[in-house]
Amino acid sequence: MDRFSPKSPHNQPGPGRSGETPPCRQGSDFAIPPVLAKQLAVTGREFLTDLLGAEVERRPSNQPALTTLSQCLAKLDRRLEGLQVDEKLAQLNPLSPIVQYNLACSQALNQDAPAALKSIGKAIDLGFTDANFMASDPDLESLHPLNSFRQLVQKLSHNHPTRPE
């Protein structure tokens, strides 16, 4: 997929493109206030969430759309909806350690520690190996005080020690 980036052909001078910076972006005359920038970001996520929701209604097994929808819902703090999407992803792709890990995060954010621990265990069984990330993941913060969570992290650290760079 061709993404928009500085090296993308969509961002290069061509017919109708002078290659110059548009006047609204020159200098420091044009600055979006932080509050407005935050609201624009939220509005963009809400729009994308609505668009992806419509796509998933049309094509319920569209995993890329479901994955992005889950991420958008998480950023909008719509935890229950995010959990429902992650459950759907886990049904569609039960052998993915990342899908299982993300499901565990949604379960933890929705205060379902037993389900989250079970999903983490499944993610590890399927090949998830990043103990440091898991131990510091803010989505799993509600699990951090639990002995069973600390044991999973310790087991994972022991089986997959971090390599020096």
Query: Same domain for 102 and 151?
Result: yes
Tell me the pLDDT tens digit for each residue of 130-154.
999 999 999 999 999 999 999 999 9
Q: What would the DSSP string read from start to end of 81-147?
A: HHHHHHHHHHHH-TT-HHHHHHHHHHHHHTT-HHHHHHHHHHHHHHT---HHHHHH-GGGGGGTT-H
The reply to whether 24 falls in a domain is no
The reply to whether 28 falls in a domain is no
Query: Same domain for 67 and 107?
Result: no
pLDDT band at 35 (very low <50, low <70, confident <90, very high): very high
- The larger pLDDT score, comparing residue 9 to residue 114, is at 114
Query: Same domain for 75 and 101?
Result: no
Q: Which two tokens stand for residue 77?
A: 């703090």
Q: Residue 47 is which amino acid?
A: F
Domain count, the chain: 2
Query: Same domain for 102 and 68?
Result: no
- Where is average pLDDT lowest: 21-35, 58-72, 99-113? 21-35
Query: Same domain for 74 and 39?
Result: yes
Q: What is the pTM of this model?
A: 0.75
Tell me the pLDDT tens digit for each residue of 95-144.
999 999 999 999 999 999 999 999 999 999 999 999 999 999 999 999 99
Q: Which domain holds residue 57?
A: 33-79
